[in-house]
A and B are shown apart, each in its own frame.
Chain A
Amino acid sequence: MTDSQVPLRALPQLTPENIAFWTGGEREQLLIYRCMHCRAWFHPPAPVCPTCLSRDVHPQSMPRHATLMSHTVNHQRWLPGMSVPYVIAIGSMDAAPDVHLMAELVNCPASQIRSDMPLEVVFLHEADVWIPQFRPLRA
């Protein structure tokens, strides 16, 4: 994107808690909060582990493999100038199935989408954030 273009995306306000998630993609890392005490992964980020209430929690690089839970092919142009259709999916992360991401599914024709298909997370760079996207896991 050049400076003259208006960003079409609704971008997140960066905070001390979410900045790792939104910028980890610069180094190809999916940074998800993890409890150093009980080892549970959790998302979205918080300053306390929702399982054991330990405060010893930090963003860690999570393996980027996921499994498709659901998808939708969006046809509506919600913002002026956005290109449609596009696919939104919810994926369950293989390293921690109760951690889900809602993200675009790219590089996959709608006709080839199957429930439970294996996915991997890649990143789209926009302004100061790296937005996770899913693509089919290459065999």
Chain B
Amino acid sequence: MSSSQRYLEKTTAVTGVGLSEVARPSEKTALALTIDASLAAIEDAGLTRDDIDGIATWPGRFDNTPGLSEVSLHEVKEALRLPVNWYMGGGEAPQHGAVISAITAIATGFARNVLIYRTVTEAQAQTPGRRASVIGAAGQRLTGWLSWLGPSNALSAAIWVALYAQRHFDRYGTTSEQLAQIALTARRNAQVNPSAIMRTPLTLDDYMTSRFISTPLRLFDCDVPVDGSTAIIISRLDAARDLRNPPLRIEAMGCALHGRFSWEQVPDLHETAAFEAARMMWNRTDLKPKDVDVAELYDGFSFLCLMWLEALGFCAKGEGGRFIEGGGRIARDGELPLNTHGGQLSQGRLHGYGQIFEAAAQLWSRAGARQVANHPRVAVCSAGGGPLGSSFLLVRD
């Protein structure tokens, strides 16, 4: 049996992408942003709404933290009157769960063209007393896994990630100057991305003198809450050949979680879900890390990006700090261009889906001033931190 028969993600492809305005804040509602992105993606693929027979999103409507996900899949289906055979908006998955769902639906024949959207309105939802991405802010009692963290005032992912970063600093000698390169690289790329929120120059000195959020993480290690929507069309590869764009095959995807679903119970506070997702992904392809032309990796916090570089095997475990030292290797003209759109740190927190949009833009050589040279052919995308993690390879044949 050939690997394309065994691993059915290979029968699917990204065929169109769309991005709404990204603003802080936007005057548009979350649903209006979603429609902007969705219609753009459908048109980009060369499809009409009647061709869209599936919808997927992550995490679906979620009211517990302001602006995280206010658009229900049902509203999008209704607004566009999409004739779907299949739909799925489940939150108990890694951030790219909608991609995993779409692949599954297409591979089983439930759908041919799936619209994926992810909308955040964390800028317009934020007020002085109502901050995005903080748990327990409304005084409600905590349930589930958050209930083990919140009572100790570990109220933000900034704290959970900081604990992993400090461990990495202590164990491997990773430094703030090294970690800074993630944020500085993102900012340099954002400066040539018209949709990026943070476009003023950022120096190492600016970074080193910025205030701590939770040591060793500083202000510029944390992504920027924004309003915006990303939409992706995933189609059956055999039907995608005739569409507008060259199909971007999903060469392999990984989403394993063999270890603990937990931030604090991971045995060495290092091998998070990212490592397992990446192992699974590489086991489903003949490609190797050296074949990757551009890396669009989750950077809700700079340290998560460093973690993904290690997890994906671009460097050895513990070597992430030295790998990014000086920033040359991960620059737009380096051996592994990283977050060429500016990432969540500087484009804004589109929650893993900005990375997918950018991977497509790069592989279709339409990234303008931030385009990586020599027509990149292989991109890797990832999302997640702690117990959440998935990654996939996109290939333009």
A binds B: yes
Interface residues on chain A, size class: 35 or more
A76 touches B151 (CB 8 A): no
**A75 contacts which of B150, B214, B269 (Cβ < 8 Å)?**
B214
Q: Mark B131-160, 1 if CB is under 8 A from A, else 0.
A: 100111101011101011111111110111
A98 touches B267 (CB 8 A): yes
Q: Is B211 an interface residue (CB 8 A)?
A: yes
Main secondary structure of the interface of A (DSSP, over half): strand
Give, as a whole number of angstroms, the nearest-CB distance from A42 to chain B.
9
**A104 contacts which of B137, B153, B171, B216 (Cβ < 8 Å)?**
B153
Q: Is B164 an interface residue (CB 8 A)?
A: yes
Give the residues from 250 to 276 in chain B that come closer than 8 angstroms, CB to CB, to chain A.
263-265, 267, 269
With A72-B162, A72-B215, A131-B152 known to touch, is A10 a contact of B136 (CB < 8 Å)? Answer: yes
Where the two chains meet, the residues of B that have a C-beta atom closer than 8 Å to any C-beta of A are: 128-129, 131, 134-137, 139, 141-143, 145, 147-156, 158-160, 162-167, 170-171, 211-217, 263-265, 267, 269
Residues from chain B with a CB closer than 8 A to the CB of A12 are 141-143, 147-148, 150-151
**Additional pairs, 17, CB under 8 Å, beyond known A79-B134, A79-B137, A129-B151:** A10-B135, A10-B136, A10-B139, A10-B151, A12-B141, A12-B150, A18-B147, A44-B148, A70-B163, A70-B269, A71-B166, A73-B212, A74-B153, A88-B163, A98-B267, A102-B163, A126-B151
Where the two chains meet, the residues of A that have a C-beta atom closer than 8 Å to any C-beta of B are: 6-7, 9-13, 18, 22, 43-44, 69-76, 78-80, 82, 86, 88-90, 98-104, 115, 126, 129, 131-133
Q: Which residue of A lies closest to B133 (CB)?
A: A78
Residues from chain A with a CB closer than 8 A to the CB of B150 are 9-12
Could you give 22 example pairs across A and B, Cβ below 8 Å? A6-B139, A7-B139, A10-B153, A12-B141, A12-B151, A13-B143, A71-B166, A72-B165, A74-B153, A75-B211, A75-B212, A75-B215, A76-B156, A78-B134, A78-B137, A79-B136, A88-B159, A102-B152, A102-B154, A102-B163, A103-B152, A131-B152
